Every structure is written in C-alpha cells, then in structure tokens.
Amino acid sequence: MILVAGSSNLDFVVRAHHIPAPGETVLGREFKTFPGGKGANQAVACARAGGVPTTLLTAMGADAFSAPIEASLRAANVALNVVRVTDQPTGTAFICVSDDAENAITVAPGANGRLHPEHLPSLQGISHVLMQLEIPMATVSAYAQAARGQGVKVVLNAAPAQALPSDVLAAVDVLVVNEGELMTVCGATSGTVAECLQLPELAHVPCVVVTLGHRGCCARVGGQWILQTAFPVTPVDTTAAGDSFCGSLVAALSQGLGLHQALPLACAAGALACTQSGAQSSIPQAADVAAFLSQQPAPSASAIDALRTFCGLPVGAHP
C-alpha cells in the first residue's frame, strides 16, 4: 500500500493561443475547473494508472472547492485521510494552457499549508510514502524521517523546485525531478544531467530519476545509469503528465518491479496524460497504460544514443 502525503487543489484552467508574457493580457477561450494538486494527482495515478491501494493524506478547507476534489479521489478508489481546515480555503491553482499544450501554473496553497507533522497516521502496511513540495518543508522532513525510521521507502518529487535541506535528502530513497528542479536541488547553474547527478549534494541519494519531457527520462541508481526514451504522442495538455509519471513509478516499485520495468510504465502513463485535458481527469487507467505499452516498438540504438548524448553520458554503452 502507498501513502501519498501532499496537496489538493481545485484547478481553474483557461485555454489560450499562448501563455502570457510579463505584462501581457491574452484573450482566452474555454474555461473549466478540474480537481488537481500534486499530491491528489499522484494519488490518483498510483491507484488508477498503477492499480495499487493508495491513501492520500491531505488538508482541505471547509468550503465548496473541496467537494469535487474528494469526489474525484473517491472515483479513483483513493482512500482519504483529510485534515479539515477552517481558517484557510482549499488550495487552488490558476492554469493557462496554450495551443501547443504547454502550461503556466500559479498555486494558492491555502489549506495545504496546514498539513503538519502530527497529522501523519500509522505507517503499518505502507511500503512507500510519496511526497511533493506543495506542503510545508518541515512536514516533508518529519514524514520522511518517520518513514525511514520504520523501514518505509520514501519517494520525493521535488516540485515546485526549491533547495532541499540535508536532513530531507538523507531520508529519501528515490528523488524525482525534472531538469529545472534538478538544477535547483543540486545548486548548479550549468552542466549536463549526468554532471549534476554526480554532484556532492545528490551523491548520497540512492536513486535519482530525472524526467526529460519529450526525450524520456534518466535515472542514476548508485553508480548505474538507466535511460528510457519517450513514447511519441500528440499532446493536448501537459498538466499532470509529471504527476502521472511519479504515481505510476511508485506504484510499479511498490509491486516489486525494478527501474528497468518501472520507467517504461511511468513514461507511458505520463505520455497518455498529455493526450487529455485537465489534471486528474487526464490520468489513464492501468489497462490503457498496458495496452499502449504493448503497441510501442523497442527503442532504437540511435534513439538511446541521442538520449545518452543529451544527458552527457558516453554513447554506445547502452544500459
């Protein structure tokens, strides 16, 4: 069983030709609300795309915004452990999605900031705790150390990007970041993915997975490198693609799969999420992930070489 500890937001989404530049006003088109939040999204991905029993520990306000989020989570068979907050509204996110499927997101955390260390439930029967950074860092640290102390694997998606205290990094078993987050976490201003992953700041993290968008992903496990090329799709909305990846990855790991098997599942779930609008509404079913994967050809040597070159790894030494 997986415990996801993290945020729940109601997403306010506007589609537009392009994302506004600073000071620019853009005339949008369709407007919809979707249940979201990195914690809630990743819990749905664990349960729906990964097919694993999942509980979400989250904080929500005593307002109408919480209702559609809770309904979406229950529909995905996510068990809820909700800390009800009366002095803050449920978290919200304001998202602009462009015609080329890119997005810009501003989050108002609200009740998410009220998830505290004392709210952690019993970890009996839990194999993995999955967290993100839309809840207080002190809470992330406390949960990670409690899980580590009880032999529960800790997976942290360091998003939104910020520097991580040493005590948090010391308690993490698997760190998941994108390229920008990788730079922030390791304190680098330049360098390849491989160079950043070998910096002292990350040297003691057993496994670091870097998502690379349309290129795929790269993982360092100890001194071993594992690469997975992306699966091509026609994107509609990239919102929750990373969350789908994280949830599916942890679900696969909780079922005893190694990274060589887990990364293709995670990449497939992330790719399929890009083909639908919204956050939780875009996360695929496990059967759809399996069917999609079964139709994908094995990556060519040239595609793997291209990914290795981008990451700054020697070409030809395929994992």
What are the sequence ranges of the domains in the chain? 2-6+36-90+113-311
Active-site hit among 237, 243, 288, 305: 243
- Return the pLDDT at 319: 44
**What is the pTM assigned to this prediction?**
0.92
Give backbone dihedrals phi and psi of 148, rounded to 5 degrees, phi first: -60, -40
Please give the class, per CATH, of domain 2-6+36-90+113-311. alpha beta
Cα-Cα-Cα-Cα torsion 167, 242, 179, 131, nearest 10 degrees, comes to 0
* C-beta atoms surrounding 234 within 10 Å: 7
Q: Is 167 a catalytic residue?
A: no
Mean pLDDT by 10 residues, the chain (319 residues): 97 92 92 93 94 97 96 96 96 91 88 97 97 97 97 96 93 96 89 90 92 94 92 85 95 95 95 87 90 91 92 73
Q: Is the distance from CB of 273 to CB of 283 less than 8 angstroms?
A: yes
- Return the pLDDT at 316: 67
- Return the pLDDT at 317: 52
